[in-house]
Homo-oligomer: A and B are copies of this chain.
């Protein structure tokens, strides 16, 4: 069975946490679900002096590949174009709740995150590039790629897309209530969970837009209906 179809990603030392191992996961379906629930990641790489850099950027998942894009002039995208690519860490985090306990120490956060390690490489195949660019639009607004003008040759030439194959990747999640120490039970403090959610509010058309609101903008992501 190839890694492509295996139900879990193989564990490695850097995808095996030293702490809270019960919060870690390597299941392909869980990792894909977390990745599909978001569209902003944090891209980490080392600069020319070896110093860490973390930048927010959009991404898309297509099968076992993550695609990130940017200007051909941007530093990480240029570096990823080198023959041996650019070592990166791509992290996606969804916050689900604040968890308040009677002690300061036990306070926690419910969250779902994915950390993917690997070498980002520039996409040069025109077919893969087209798939990636559509996916980058559809990750944030499913259905949008088919309902806008595709990139023209000049725009394509200004866009760099990099690929990170999902291989050394893990999830970390917490989805639980307040974990109060038994000794704190009688303390007069509130404990419990404050759910946190991302919502999309009503779309605001650009002045001069004659087209009505497309169907793909009338719903909402993350189970959150527009307020």
Binding site for B on A (CB under 8 A): 14, 18-19, 40, 42-47, 50-56, 58, 71, 73-75, 87-91, 93, 95, 98, 100-105, 107, 109, 111, 113, 115, 117, 133-134, 137, 140-141, 144-145, 147-152, 155, 159, 177-178, 180, 184-185, 187-206, 208-214, 217, 224, 227
The answer on a CB contact under 8 Å between A95 and B206 is: no
Smallest distance from the beta carbon of A132 to chain B beta carbons, Å? 12
Q: Is the interface of A mostly helix, strand, loop or mixed?
A: mixed
Contact between A151 and B211 (Cβ–Cβ < 8 Å)? no
Complexed CA–CA distance, A187 and B210 (Å): 10
> B46 to A46, Cβ gap below 8 A?
yes
Counting every copy of the chain, the complex holds 2
Q: Are A199 and B197 in contact (CB under 8 A)?
A: yes
User: Which of A74, A89, A208 has most chain B Cβ within 10 Å?
Assistant: A89
Residues of B within 8 A of A111 (CB): 56
B contact residues around A188 at 8 Å (CB): 210-211
Contact A190 B209 (CB under 8 A): yes
- 28 A-B residue pairings within 8 Å (CB atoms): A19-B73, A42-B93, A44-B89, A46-B46, A51-B87, A58-B109, A95-B198, A102-B148, A103-B150, A103-B151, A104-B137, A104-B148, A104-B150, A104-B151, A177-B206, A190-B205, A190-B214, A191-B206, A192-B203, A193-B206, A194-B204, A195-B201, A195-B202, A196-B198, A196-B199, A196-B200, A197-B198, A197-B199
Contact call B148/A101, Cβ cutoff below 8 A: yes
On whether the beta carbons of B190 and A89 are closer than 8 Å, the reply is no
Q: Are A193 and B187 in contact (CB under 8 A)?
A: no
A52's partner among B88, B133, B187 (CB-CB below 8 A) is B88
How many angstroms from the CA of A79 to the CA of B171 in the assembled complex?
23
- Are A91's CB and B151's CB within 8 A? no
13 further interface pairs, Cβ-Cβ under 8 Å (given A100-B141, A190-B214, A198-B198): A18-B73, A40-B93, A42-B44, A51-B89, A52-B87, A95-B198, A98-B200, A104-B137, A104-B148, A104-B150, A148-B189, A190-B203, A190-B212
